[in-house]
Amino acid sequence: MSTMSETTSTRAARLSDVARLAGVSAATASRALNGSDRGVREANRAKVLEAAKTLGYTTNVAAQAVARGRNRGVTLVVKGIPEDYANPIISGVVTAAQRRGLPVTITSAGTDPADLVEAVHNARSHRPEILMITGGRATDDATIPELVDALQRYEAEGGRVVLITQPGLPFDTVAYENRKGGYDMAKTLAGLGYRNFAVISGMKHGLTQRDRTAGFIEGLAESGIQLPADRVLIGEFTRDAAYAMTGDLLRRGIPVEAIFAVNDAMALGVLTFLRDAGRSIAVAGFDDIQALRDVTPSLSTVHLPWDQVADEALTMAMGPRGDEPRTIMIEGHVVVRESTPSVVP
């Protein structure tokens, strides 16, 4: 009778071989290799992965797709990846998926709303288990009904949808407390002694910039500071647009002590213009992207826990469906750094 080592030396390793070497059931080995959290202790997962590595076992992806009607893994559709910094949610999703042994396919949908609908249709044709979408929405987006229809069709076909964006669509969603983050930043800057502000706000109809700007204005108002309308600058949601808007603001001769940019990429544009112009004005951002580690002065910002966002999204996607779509709101916190020194006597 052949031993396991003799048998597996003459044929490809099977799931039963992995289970036997790890000392677990075939069902446990299967769940561990599929990235499932259901009923698998971490110690057993480690044993299974080590056994699979020892035996050179490779999951039969094609067979799994046929059996389940789905290709294993996550397709992440990212709306409008900026060119000037690494999108932090991409890194978070990839890291969270790797912890679960799930492959990730990343698709850029472009910036036009119709591009996102097309990207969803393309993703449906590849039949991934999980479809995640990240990126902001606009108040005047006429493609929302078509997008919702495409995503509902995908779920009716057996897939799972999770959105990482603003709440409001009928799907499981992980969203940020954008308004509260802006509010907290305003209260913090007012507490540091600043009184004359401007906001680099991004696109007029964007929900993210709208909520962050509204929260900031509300926080200033509660601190006894009114922000005139001409201090809120509207433009593209990018570093280069913020650079140009800062120049426009200063050319108008408006007295400003501190500038709040509603994302960090824009804040970097503000900082760069001020450096080039030889001006000293406090600057704050929102997101706490990794690129800030290389910025001088270090940027005050609203930190968002990107790894937690991605982990919550994948947990929702891999768990049981709720009776109704669920929304998890993730709250950030203000981090004060060198770009906003205290001016309180």
Which pLDDT score is estimated for 191? 97
- In angstroms, the Cα distances linking 285 to 243, 264, 289 are 14, 5, 10
Q: Which two tokens stand for residue 324?
A: 């109704």
At how many degrees (to 10) do helices 42-55 and 26-33 cross?
Answer: 90
pLDDT at 199 over 50: yes
pLDDT at 6 over 60: no
CATH of 66-176+306-331, one of 3.40.50.1820, 2.40.50.140, 3.40.50.970, 3.40.50.2300: 3.40.50.2300
- What is the per-residue pLDDT across 317-339, written as a single tens digit (0 to 9) for each? 988 888 899 999 999 999 999 99
Average pLDDT on 175-202 reads 96
- Single-letter code of the amino acid located at 96: A
Work out the number of other CB atoms within 10 angstroms of the CB of residue 133. 25
- Single-letter code of the amino acid located at 281: I
Domain pair 4-58 / 66-176+306-331, same fold = no
Looking at domain 178-305, what is its CATH homologous superfamily? Response regulator (3.40.50.2300)
Domain boundaries, the chain: 4-58, 66-176+306-331, 178-305
Lowest average pLDDT, out of 135-149, 174-188, 213-227, goes to 135-149
Lowest average pLDDT, out of 50-64, 213-227, 249-263, goes to 50-64
Average pLDDT on 68-86 reads 65
Which pLDDT score is estimated for 37? 56
CATH of 4-58, one of 1.10.260.40, 3.40.50.410, 1.10.20.10, 3.40.50.150: 1.10.260.40
Indicate the average pLDDT of the chain: 85
Closest by alpha carbon to 216, among 98, 301, 129, 138? 301
- In angstroms, the Cα distances linking 202 to 29, 145, 268, 297 are 49, 25, 14, 23
pTM value?
A: 0.76
Lowest average pLDDT, out of 53-62, 156-165, 217-226, 248-257, goes to 53-62
